[in-house]
Structure 1
Amino acid sequence: MAVTEANHWPCAQCGADLRYAPGQTELKCDHCGYVQAIPAKAPRQKASALVEHPLAKGLSDDLPDAASEDVRSTTCPNCGAVVEFQGANHASQCPFCATPVVVDTGSHRRIKPQALVPFELTESQARTALKSWLGSLWFAPNSLLEYTRAGRAMDGIYAPFWTFDADTDSRYRGQRGDYYYETQWVNVTVNGKTERRQEQVRKTRWSATSGRVSRDFDDVLVMASSSLPARLGNDLTPWDLTKLQPYSPDYLAGFQAEGYTVGLADGWGRAQAVMADVIENDVRRDIGGDEQRVDTVDTDYSAETFKHILLPIWMAAYKYGGKSYRFLVNGQTGEVQGERPYSVWKITFAVLAALILAAAAAYIYDPSIFGLPQPDWMD
């Protein structure tokens, strides 16, 4: 994980840290209440910031200088997180394990984020969403809910994503299966006697087919973090990307921003896998029939572009049974995903209760199963 230090903006009135106010277009000082508006981008500036980069130039490291930046970073010796440094700072601490870290001597070039979706949920709202989700889990430890009731702090992080656009044209070969029915004579036993009856048996007639399908993809989203569990991060959908704003450090005030650890080439490979699933469904619809077999699909890609964006996530970690579990809350919609633990005691009691109920039902139905006489009230 590559995470920038917490972003600090001093209050013009008292010097304390300003913080971006989720759902607003302003920075607020928690100390004195001072409010500072975030300057609005002109429509032309906003449109320019949201223009996609040509994918070929990004893959060949041929983007304009303005699209990249030099970043200094170091790897945490304790947990392996990659901490990025800003400005003249040379020492900090890892935001995930609090281990002191010192910047390496070198720097590397990275693609700058073009846009972000600002936080809309406050930490309090995110905690409420998490508490509701945890409360709906069966066999979850009671300490999970106690964790949220205790008001434990959640970390607000802008996570990195790639978005990809592409026009596709796919040629395929496959087989179409159409059902038909044949009448067959079969022997069946009725009241101890064998009878001969007719039965309709379904069969499939296969025929070779080929064709072509086309689809234009817009904003295929790929998480660019290898530190967050892919299943959790990718399932925090949907995101409303119409709310994207041109990248501005003002939105990062009081939050952290993670640098991408899934490179552009790997991100494009994952996007192609997502597109391939959609294309295969298109092929099956084009083949038609009752069943389909897809033998080969050959896809040509054109007009390939990408953006590097940041999306808001509230994150919490919980330890249970010596293992760490992570919970993510979509900072825009409140969707929750998490690695949930199970309470062994709750499962054990549930199994015992089920066995007791089953035994009671069996006794009521037939006491002789347990070698007991039938009670008088059952006569």
Structure 2
Amino acid sequence: MTAQTAERHFPCESCGADLRFAPGQTHLRCDHCGHEQDIPAAPEARDLALGEHDLHRALRDALPPGAMEEVRTTRCPSCGSLVEFQGAQHATECPFCATPVVAGTGTNRQIKPQAVLPFFLDERTARQSMTNWLGGLWFAPNGLVEYARKGRALNGLYVPYWTYDAATRSAYQGERGDHYYVTETVIVDGKQRQQQVQKIRWSGRRGWVSRVFDDVLVLASESLPRRYTDALAPWDLAALQPYREDYLSGFTAEGYTVGLEEGWARAQEVMAQVIHQDVRRDIGGDVQRVHRVDTEYSAETFKHILLPVWMAAYKYNGKSYRFIVNGQTGRVQGERPWSVWKITFAVLGAVAVGLGLFYLRQKGVIG
């Protein structure tokens, strides 16, 4: 799949200016006149709207037409992202590198988002969370925290994710290890003495474990490092709302670049780790060896959802560093630069302290 991004616009009923979704609220707000508009309730029941898609049907490209959408895209000449255009829009900026892009003739067919987790934290609160996090980084350049304190606005971005459900039944083979102790004679400082030595008695084991997985979360984008987006967890997915473009008003939404099949493979990796722990518990004993696990999957379903992230970038020594804030909880992760001067002074300081202590010991001042 290709990467797409888009910014939705909704006119104010009072003055016609753009409305924006108010984080933590259930309405849109006009920055021009202050008018507030409620987001209309979804016509269908929430549980129905958040229903799962059959995974194998989707992998056969056999989802109902209403589950798919066709979008216009063009590739950013600077960073290579594919930018999505809505309606009569023909030009915009790439949200990842701010390069101007003009609509082309390409289109892309993709799975529609089914749910969105609305922003709970506003930009000011998210920026404060980032500033506090940056202030706690050791050996970070002084300009880094100063950059955050200057109040440069963060960008609100809805990031695409897949969630996967499955029932699993796993056959395993392994060994159970039980500790026991024997008395052995050892020689210490030329003298014999008795001591207890731990041994392990191994016995073969085989069996079955079962588990039902619900909403295994997989990042569906390559634009942000997975190690940072994974560390933004946990997310309260119980707060998901049926997808409506109203929630995206004033924010940027990114399309998925990790396809459904690739996402399913990543979800299976996550499931395998949990199943491995289930197997160890089922084997029992003090230690375990797991030789083989064969897993059968059934009732596989998925959702395409959007999660809220505040994002900022900082340039240091010609390199850009990105910081991301969980738009629901305020948890912060990012790529951090290191101040060479701070590290150098710290090393020199440590060396100086070491030499000073050595000198005092030589003079007999300290023992």
Classify the TM-score, shorter chain: over 0.9
Which residue identity does 1:347 align to in structure 2? I
Q: Distance in 1 between matches of 2:283 and 2:113?
A: 41
In structure 1, the residue matched to 2:219 is 223
Cα distance in 2 for residues equivalent to 1:308 and 1:231: 20
| Cα displacement string for residues 113-133 of structure 1 (whole angstroms, at most 9, x for unaligned residues) | 001000010000000000011
The number of equivalent residue pairs is 365
**Superposed displacement of residue 93, structure 1:** 2.5
- Quick one: distance in 2 between partners of 1:319 and 1:203? 56
Q: 1:258 aligns with which of 222, 237, 254?
A: 254
| One-letter code aligned to 2:224 | L
Structure 1 counterpart of 2:291: 295
CA-to-aligned-CA distance 1:97-154 (integer Å, 9 cap, x gap)? 2222223323121000001000010000000000011111111111110111111111
Encode CA deviations 1:221-259: one digit per residue, 9 max, x unaligned: 001001110111111111001111010001111001000
Counterparts of residues 144-155 of structure 1 (less than 5 Å): 144-155=144-155
The residue aligned with 1:77 is: 77
Name the residue aligned to 2:48.
48
Please point out which of 220, 232, 236 is paired with 1:240. 236
The separation in 2 between residues aligned to 1:117 and 1:141, in whole angstroms, is 34
Q: CA RMSD in A?
A: 1.4
Residue among 264, 268, 272 paired with 1:272: 268
- Partners of 1:96 and 1:120 lie apart in 2 by 23
What is aligned with 2:137?
Answer: 137
Describe the SS at the equivalent of 1:232: helix
Query: In the alignment, residue 89 of structure 1 is paired with which amino acid?
Result: Q
Given that 2:6 and 2:254 are in contact with CA atoms closer than 8 Å, whether structure 1 keeps it comes out as no
The SS at the match of 1:9 is coil
> Structure 2 CA distance, aligned partners of 1:101 and 1:13?
32
Task: Structure 1 unaligned segments of length 5 or more: list them.
Answer: 368-373
Match of 1:124 in 2: 124
One-letter code of the match for 1:343? S
Q: Does the aligned pair in 1 maintain the 2:3–2:82 contact within 8 Å?
A: yes
Between the aligned partners of 1:181 and 1:41, the Cα distance in structure 2 is 66
* Contact kept? 2:74, 2:106, Cα under 8 Å: no
Structure 2, unmatched stretches of 5+, are none
Contact kept in structure 1, 2:9 and 2:19, CA below 8 Å: yes
Q: For residues 203-232 of structure 1, what are the alpha-carbon distances to aligned partners after superposition, in whole Å with 9 as ceiling and x for unaligned?
A: 111111101100100000001001110111
Q: Distance in 2 between the 1:98 and 1:344 partners?
A: 29
Distance 1:274 1:320 in 2: 35
Give the whole-Å Cα distance in 2 for the aligned partners of 1:203 and 1:305.
46
Residues of 2 paired with 1:339 and 1:55: CA distance? 34
Which moves more between the two structures, 275-284 or 96-105?
96-105
Q: 1:283 matched to which residue of 2?
A: 279
Q: With the length of structure 2 as denominator, give the TM-score of the two structures.
A: 0.96
CA apart distance, 1:202: 1.4
Per-residue CA deviation, residues 273-292 of structure 1 (Å, 9 max, x unaligned), is: 00000000000011111111
The aligned residue for residue 12 of structure 2 is 11
The corresponding residue for 1:179 is: 179
Q: How does 1:103-118 map to 2 (within 5 A)?
A: 103-118=103-118
Which segments of structure 1 move beyond 3 Å, counting only runs of 4 or more? none
